[in-house]
C-alpha cells in the first residue's frame, strides 16, 4: 500500500508528457495511475525516448475507464483532488493529505464536466493574466512537490 500522494492521469494523449510524469513520479516515489483509454501505446518511441529506464511497473496502476477508477477510490475512501484551470483555490493554500490522489486531465481537453461533478476538491496553479496553462508534466511536478513537502515526505 502506498502511503504517499498518487498522480492520476485522465486519458493522457501526449506520450512525451506521460513519460516525463512517470519519470518524475518514479524519482520521487509517487504512484502513477492511468485512466484509460490513452491516446498512444506505451511502446511508442516518443514515450520510450523520455521515460528511458525510469519505467517502474510496480509504481503504475492502470484503470480501464473512469467508472472503475472512481469506484475503487470510493471503496478505498481515498480523496481525489482535481487540478483544473477552472478552480478558485490555489494548490499552495490547499491542505494536502498523505494518501491523496491528484487527478490531471487530458492535455488537449482537460476532464469532462461529469468528472468535475464527481470530485469535492478542485485546485489550480495560479498563472499570470492572459496565460492559459502550464505543460502537464510541469504542473504535476509543482503540485506533487508541494503535496510531499506538506506531508514531510521530501
Cell of 54: 525510469
Determine the pLDDT at residue 16.
Answer: 85
How many folded domains does the chain comprise?
Answer: 1
Helix (H) or strand (E) holding 31: strand 31-35
Asked if residue 12 is part of any domain, the answer here is yes
Domain limits for position 43:
6-150
Asked if residue 10 is part of any domain, the answer here is yes
Determine the pLDDT at residue 53.
Answer: 64
- CATH number, position 137: 3.40.1280.10
Asked if residue 1 is part of any domain, the answer here is no
Asked if residue 98 is part of any domain, the answer here is yes
Determine the pLDDT at residue 147.
Answer: 97
| CA 115 – CA 84 distance, rounded (Å) | 11
Mean pLDDT by 10 residues, the chain (154 residues): 84 88 90 88 62 68 96 96 95 96 92 93 94 91 97 87
Asked if residue 76 is part of any domain, the answer here is yes
The model's pTM: 0.91
Determine the pLDDT at residue 31.
Answer: 94
- DSSP assignment, residue 93? G
Angle between helices 136-150 and 15-28 (to 10 degrees): 20
Asked if residue 92 is part of any domain, the answer here is yes
Amino acid at each position: 500500500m502506498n502511503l504517499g500522494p498518487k498522480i492520476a492521469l485522465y486519458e493522457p494523449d501526449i506520450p512525451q508528457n506521460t513519460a516525463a510524469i512517470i519519470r518524475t513520479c518514479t524519482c520521487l516515489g509517487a504512484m502513477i495511475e492511468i485512466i484509460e483509454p490513452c491516446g498512444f501505446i506505451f511502446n511508442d518511441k516518443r514515450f520510450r525516448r523520455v521515460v528511458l529506464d525510469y519505467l517502474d511497473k510496480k509504481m503504475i496502476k492502470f484503470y480501464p475507464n473512469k467508472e472503475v477508477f472512481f469506484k475503487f477510490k470510493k471503496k478505498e475512501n481515498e480523496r481525489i483532488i482535481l487540478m483544473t484551470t477552472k478552480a478558485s483555490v490555489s494548490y499552495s493554500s490547499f491542505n494536502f493529505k498523505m494518501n491523496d490522489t491528484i487527478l490531471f486531465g487530458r492535455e488537449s481537453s482537460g476532464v469532462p464536466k461529469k468528472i468535475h461533478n464527481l470530485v469535492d476538491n478542485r485546485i489550480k496553479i495560479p498563472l499570470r493574466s492572459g496565460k492559459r496553462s502550464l505543460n502537464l508534466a510541469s504542473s504535476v511536478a509543482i503540485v506533487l512537490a508541494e503535496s510531499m513537502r506538506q506531508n514531510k515526505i521530501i
